[in-house]
A and B are shown apart, each in its own frame.
Chain A
Amino acid sequence: MSVNVLEAHVRTMQGLACIDLMGEISAQAEDVLNRVYEEAVSANPGTILLNFTGVEYINSTGIALILNLLVKAGRSHRKLYSYGLSDHYREIFRITRLSDFMRIFSDENAAMAAV
């Protein structure tokens, strides 16, 4: 069975790196997430923005992987923000309390305005 692997790309702006995520965030996404995070921090941004607009599925392992990104960001004193989550995954982030530690915005403009 084919697995819809995660694709991710980094855009850098002033003081900010935006990671565009497309596909699914499950165990198979670990290497991609780690690689793209390292690429994002290479420009030494103060804030990293996760764009979930293209993400269609996040499972419990994906929650753990996102939590790992929060740990990495916290250790290097960076902010981790997100936008583009569906209502369902916003609810998941609220239930898991990820949203207590990562600001969630409706779109990129709202996130950029908060940086």
Chain B
Amino acid sequence: MTDEWEELLCFEVPSQAGMERRVMERVAESARGLLSPEIIERLKTAVSEGALNAIEHGNHFREDLLVEVNVLVSSRVLRVTITDQGGDQELPKAPVPDIEAKLSGLETPRGWGLFLIRNMVDEVQMTGDGQRHTLLLDFYRER
């Protein structure tokens, strides 16, 4: 069975704080009608966290570095890719946050981003080619 991809959206944003909201809204708008409202909410959280990671950890808030966002759709999947210029940085393992440790001060209260992403999507992959670092988020269209 062939499953061709159609590109719905492709755009770039500068690595400024707050841009993750713009990315989230544009991607959610493109996905409306293709995913259920509940899945759109999950997509919004995953995409905003992915964009925030790209802006903050990939491009270190350097406004001259762009974050590239693509939205693709097939008959089965809506796929969002978020690419930064993070280069060869090691991909984080994203351990499950330990809320008891956080509440008792043994862990930083932060560190929820990748955990949220993993819990919001059907599949997630991270790839790097030495210069660019891409987060790929898949949402199944049928459940």
Per the 8 Å Cβ criterion, residues 2-40 of B in contact with A are 16-22, 38
Interface majority SS (helix, strand, loop, mixed), chain A: helix
Binds B, one of A9-17, A45-53, A64-72: A64-72
Q: How many residues of B contact A (CB 8 A)?
A: 28
Binds B, one of A32-40, A93-101, A105-113: A93-101
Please indicate the chain B residues that have their CB under 8 angstroms from the CB of A95 in the complex: 115-116, 119
Decide if A97 touches B38 in the complex (CB within 8 Å). no
Please indicate the chain B residues that have their CB under 8 angstroms from the CB of A60 in the complex: 49, 52, 110-113, 115-116
| B130 CB–A CB distance under 8 Å | no
| A22 CB–B CB distance under 8 Å | no
| A88 CB–B CB distance under 8 Å | yes
Fill in one digit per residue for B35-68: 1 if any A CB lies within 8 Å of its CB, else 0.
0001001100100110010000000000000000
Q: Chain A, interface size: which category?
A: 20 to 34
Interface majority SS (helix, strand, loop, mixed), chain B: helix
Decide if B99 touches A64 in the complex (CB within 8 Å). no
A60 vs B103: C-alpha distance when bound (angstroms): 16
Select one of B99, B109, B111, B112 contacting A68, CB under 8 A.
B109
Interface residues, chain B, with chain A CB atoms under 8 Å away:
16-22, 38, 41-42, 45, 48-49, 52, 97, 99, 102-103, 105, 108-113, 115-116, 119
Beyond known contacts A64-B108, A92-B116: 18 more, CB 8 A cutoff: A1-B22, A3-B17, A24-B21, A57-B21, A57-B48, A59-B52, A60-B113, A67-B103, A68-B109, A71-B103, A71-B105, A71-B109, A87-B41, A92-B45, A95-B116, A96-B99, A96-B112, A96-B115
28 contacts between A and B (CB under 8 A): A3-B17, A3-B21, A24-B21, A28-B17, A60-B49, A60-B110, A60-B113, A60-B115, A61-B110, A63-B112, A63-B116, A64-B109, A64-B111, A65-B109, A67-B99, A67-B102, A67-B103, A67-B109, A74-B103, A86-B41, A87-B41, A88-B38, A92-B45, A95-B116, A96-B97, A100-B99, A101-B99, A101-B103
